[in-house]
Amino acid sequence: MIRWVVRCLLLCCLAQAGTLSAHEVGLSQSRWRMSGDELVAEIGFAPRELVALRAVADRDGDGELSSVEFAAHEPELRDALLAGITIEREGRPCAPTEVDLEWRADDAVLLRLRAPCAGDGTVGVSLPLLGKLSLEHRQWATLVLADGERGLLLSAREQRFELAADALAQPWWAVLWLGAEHILFGLDHLAFLLGLLLAGPALRRLLLTLTAFTVAHSLTLGLMAAGLVHAPGALVEPLIGLSVAVVAIDNLRPRSVRIGTRWLLVLAFGLIHGFGFAGAIADRAPSGNALWTWLLAFNLGVELGQVAFAWVVLATGSWLKRLRWDARFLQWAGNATLLLLGAGWTLTRI
């Protein structure tokens, strides 16, 4: 419990890093995991912290890193960050082969890297980078282990840690639960599914639309997890909200003027939801041949979660019908609520 309190406090401070004065403690966060013989990491910084690397020209002299300055000096900044990260296994260095540096919409800089590191021993990571940032910089590092996650507070004096080779060796049932958990606790995904269930009593049409949704989100989930396609979260998240609103609007229209080939609409929005699923598991899925087995278990968990939710909704509807509740009113009220939720999500995520 104490660990989570400390973590939340650190992340809150990171969110406010742009308001800290130069003499205050700098904060960053990172996430590290092993995927077979490959180390996968994400490291997030407040932009002002990176000015201390002197790889970026502070054009306006305000002590901050702007998106314009970042774009102009991205290669130099990437090289400076990588120079401050040392990865080794059994005394042999492991050089990153995939590196991506991104300026995020929430005004943070995110470094992603993958480093092949074959061998039998543990992987050692050192971050001399922390000593080059602002005075007394601290980093909250999350290590993804087989039995959960462990947090470390790193600094220039405590900059080294180790990861075991099987740090992400999750049992299949844990991945299955991860998929079910993602759909059952993803309110926007559930709202879209509820919109499909509130379309009306036509069982054949319902099965067709649910199948289209499943096929679509499974496709984009696999493609994005494999690195074959990419969609920015800033685009995906508003579109997920829009999908809820559009389905609700179609449900509220008279049956005679509803979209005839609705399964095509659901197929398109299902592709978008698949990108949303993939974005949520990007830092957990393994690489190589293990990816497809992992995705199969995760997707099966998603489908089981969908079936469980659909059963609860249909059973509740049947129970209310026996209590002689007005089915048309319930459908109208449900779709009106979904329309408001979808519109709100769309506007607040733009």
- On the question of pLDDT at 33 being above 50, the answer is yes
Q: Where are the beta strands (DSSP E) in the chain?
A: 27-35, 38-45, 86-89, 92-93, 98-103, 109-116, 123-126, 138-145, 148-154, 160-163
pLDDT at 285: 64
pLDDT at 59: 63
pLDDT at 81: 92
AA identity, residue 130: L
Q: What rounded mean pLDDT belongs to the chain?
A: 79
Burial class (CB in 10 A: 0-12, 13-18, 19+), 61: exposed
pLDDT at 147: 60
Q: Give 211's Cβ-side CA count (13 Å radius).
A: 6
Q: What's the pLDDT tens digit per position in 288-345?
A: 566 777 788 888 888 899 889 989 988 898 888 888 888 788 888 999 999 999 999 9
Beta bridge partners of 125: 87, 161
pLDDT at 14: 39
pLDDT at 15: 41
- On the question of pLDDT at 191 being above 50, the answer is yes
- On the question of pLDDT at 256 being above 80, the answer is no
Cβ atoms of residues 221 and 229 within 8 Å: no
d(CA 81, CA 251): 51
Strand, coil or helix: 259: coil
The pLDDT of 90-118, averaged and rounded, is 88
pLDDT at 23: 36
d(CA 3, CA 112): 25
Q: Provide the CA 101 distance to its chain's centre, in angstroms.
A: 16
Weakest-pLDDT range from 170-179, 233-242, 255-264, 290-299: 255-264
The pLDDT of 30-43, averaged and rounded, is 87
pTM: 0.55
The pLDDT of 83-101, averaged and rounded, is 91
d(CA 241, CA 138): 36
d(CA 219, CA 299): 10
Q: What's the pLDDT tens digit per position in 123-142?
A: 899 999 988 886 578 888 88
Nearest to 274 by CA among 304, 320, 240: 240
- On the question of pLDDT at 6 being above 90, the answer is no
